[in-house]
Every structure is written in structure tokens, then in C-alpha cells.
Amino acid sequence: MTAFPFMEVSLACSNVAEMEAFWVRMFDATVIFRGRMAGQPFSRIVACGITFVFRQDPDFVAPPGPGKEWEFRNHLGLRVADLASAIADLEARGAQFVLTPEKVRELQRLQKSEDARPYFETEFIAPPLDAERIKRGDYRIDVAIMVGPDNLWVELNQVTEPQDTNWFPGAASTA
């Protein structure tokens, strides 16, 4: 089969300079191109091992912002080895987190006390994992979500997974 290595993520935004500055400040991005594409400003950067192309769109409408958005359907997920350390580092750079592990635990407690339907339910688990291994804690993802320009959600994920899965390469497994 032909190889299809990942190339880039291209996203519309309201202000290329603001988006570029965010990625440089938060994630030490390297700008590799800047100019105009189809007559609109654009910037191509490399951050977190990914190439991003941000294109300014005069018709861009930002999604709901902090306090108005709780599903975070559209987001960029980054893997980190130590979530607490990553949060501290990014907060020192000015990050605004809308979801932290503490907030997740609080939401889980509230959900249990209200006998509400679980937010996340799994119907299928690919081998070699199974429900028992997950219950034991062999596999877990802890998350935090920060907001960027145009309410671009950036999710940090600390993945604990056994060596026999390695579904999310990019940081050392902690199991």
C-alpha cells in the first residue's frame, strides 16, 4: 500500500498574526512561510511535530468561547508525558485553561451524585485491551483543554497505556 504520512493541518482564522504569535509563545513554533494565499494572509508553522497552515478568512466565525462551550468537539489534541507540568508551563506563558483534571474529577463527582448518564461510554474496545484492563487502570487518558485565538481548543492528553497497545505514540508510556 502507498504510504500516507501526515502532512499538515490547515485552519481558517480571523487574524493570522495573532494565531501565529499564540503558537510561537505557547509551543515555541517555528514560522517557515508567511505571505498571502488566494489573496488572504497565511502562515505556515511547525509546532508540536505538526505543520499548521493558518489562513485568514474575512468570513470566519469563531465557535463559542469559554463558558459557552462544553463539548469541545473541534479541537487539536496534543500528547504530553506530564500533564501537571505541561499545564504549569503553559499557564506561565499565559494559557487560559477551561478544563483541567480537577474540573474533570468534579464533573464526574457531580454526574455520579445526580445519577446522570455517563458523558463517555465505550461500546467497543480493540484488543489487546478489554474493559477489565481499563477498570484496573492499565489504560487511561487525563485531559486539560486550553483556549487559543478564535476559541481554538487545544487539548493536552496524558496517556497511560500498556506497551502492547501503543495506540498513541509520541510520549513514553507510563504503564
Domains of the chain, earliest start first: 1-58 (3.10.180.10), 65-175 (no CATH)
**The pLDDT of residue 13 is above 80:** yes
What's the pLDDT band for 6 if we cut at 50, 70, 90? confident
pTM: 0.87
Predicted confidence (pLDDT) at residue 148 exceeds the cutoff of 80: yes
Q: What is the pLDDT of residue 115?
A: 67
| Cell (9 digits) for 39 | 489573496
